[in-house]
Chain A
Amino acid sequence: MSAFAPEHDVPIRYMDRTREYYQALGFAPYRWAHFTDAPFEPLRIPLARARVGLITTAAPFQPEAGDQGPRAPYNAAAKFYKVYSMPVDAKPDLRISHVGYDRANTVPEDLDAYFPLARLHDAVGAGRIGALTSRFHGAPTNRSHRVTMETDAPELLRRCREDGADAVVLVPS
């Protein structure tokens, strides 16, 4: 019989970790979005004929917004507050200095590790999926659930429909 994994080798409890951290800094606990149900829409056509969209929380590089390099500290000036769209046929310059990724354990030097556009192109080339939509979209990361649900999500839906997406891959940074 093989040995058990270490007790602490479990998914990181990010909500607890964040709560403890910000409480230590003197902030009230954040209320995370929580639902007990979830919607479900089956994919109604074969993936090999489907047009797939992509949504990211990464931000386009902004020359005026300070250090956005892979070792940059958290950079609020590099945030964005409106949904953006860019074509999928060129490799975009997207950065994640504006979000709280794990700076203790990773250095985001490879776009493909947080933005799967190149692998999606591979999948189209291999015939695994039919096509990509002509553009991908950027979702602003906002502490306000209301802004995400009432402003950004409807705008992203509108753009995905305009693109003729049959399915959408969403990738947080």
Chain B
Amino acid sequence: MCHQTVSLVARHLEANGLPTVIMGCAKDIVEHCGVPRFVWSDFPLGNSAGRPFDRQSQALTLELALRLLEHAPGPRTTVASPLRWTADPDWKAKYLDVSKLSPEEIAERRREFDVVKAVARAKREAV
């Protein structure tokens, strides 16, 4: 949802004359929405600005964003960070892997989701 939110915001800023660049991890969501400039890191969601506790990785990721601001030839320009999360790509299978859940676990997740949703609704309506 975060990636969709910033994609929609970037489109709005850009359409109103403000150049933007997104740094993110969810390539499909950002490109499906369609944005002006995007630095994609093939990292787990939550690491849009580079690897944790790795200043060099973060500096490189930001530098790619700055270069896009300067040099992107047109909209929907994506640049892929060359950094790898781990040499082994198996981490990618672990995110929201529903195939590994039993029917009982799925029912439990549903219950948890309903609770969380009620909390969010109460908070939203209190605003």
Contacts and interface: CB of A to CB of B under 8 A. Distances in A.
Nearest to B58: A119
Contact of B94 (A14, A16, A105, A169): A105
A47 B69 contact: yes
Interface string A134-173: 0000011111010011001110110011000111111111
B19 A108 contact: no
Interface string B13-46: 1111111111111111100111110001011111
Nearest to B41: A113
A112 B49 contact: yes
B70 interface: yes
Given A129-B66, A142-B1, A34 B33 contact: yes
B75 A38 contact: yes
Contact of A39 (B15, B47, B109, B116): B15
B101 to A, nearest CB: 7
B6 A35 contact: no
Contacts of A55: 6, 9
Contacts of B49: 112-116, 119, 171
Interface residues of A, number: 86
A102 B46 CA distance: 6
Contacts of B59: 119, 122
Given A76-B117, A168-B18, A32 B29 contact: yes
A160 B34 CA distance: 21
Given A34-B34, A145-B8, A21 B96 contact: yes
B66 A20 contact: no
A31 to B, nearest CB: 11
A42 interface: yes
Contact of A154 (B12, B14, B17, B43): B12
Contact of B47 (A34, A43, A106, A170): A106
Contacts of B29: 14-15, 32
Contacts of A12: 26, 28, 92, 95
Contacts of B76: 38
Interface of A: 5-6, 8-9, 11-18, 20-21, 24-26, 32-43, 47, 55, 57, 74, 76-77, 79, 81-82, 96, 99-102, 104-110, 112-116, 118-120, 122-123, 128-129, 139-143, 145, 148-149, 152-154, 156-157, 160-161, 165-173
Given A40-B36, A112-B55, A119-B50, 18 more contacts: A8-B92, A15-B29, A21-B96, A24-B98, A34-B33, A42-B19, A47-B69, A55-B6, A74-B116, A77-B123, A99-B2, A102-B45, A105-B91, A105-B94, A107-B52, A114-B49, A169-B62, A172-B26
Please name the 6 residue pairs, one residue from A and one from B, whose CB atoms are nearest each other, closest first: A101-B46, A172-B2, A102-B44, A153-B12, A110-B52, A76-B120
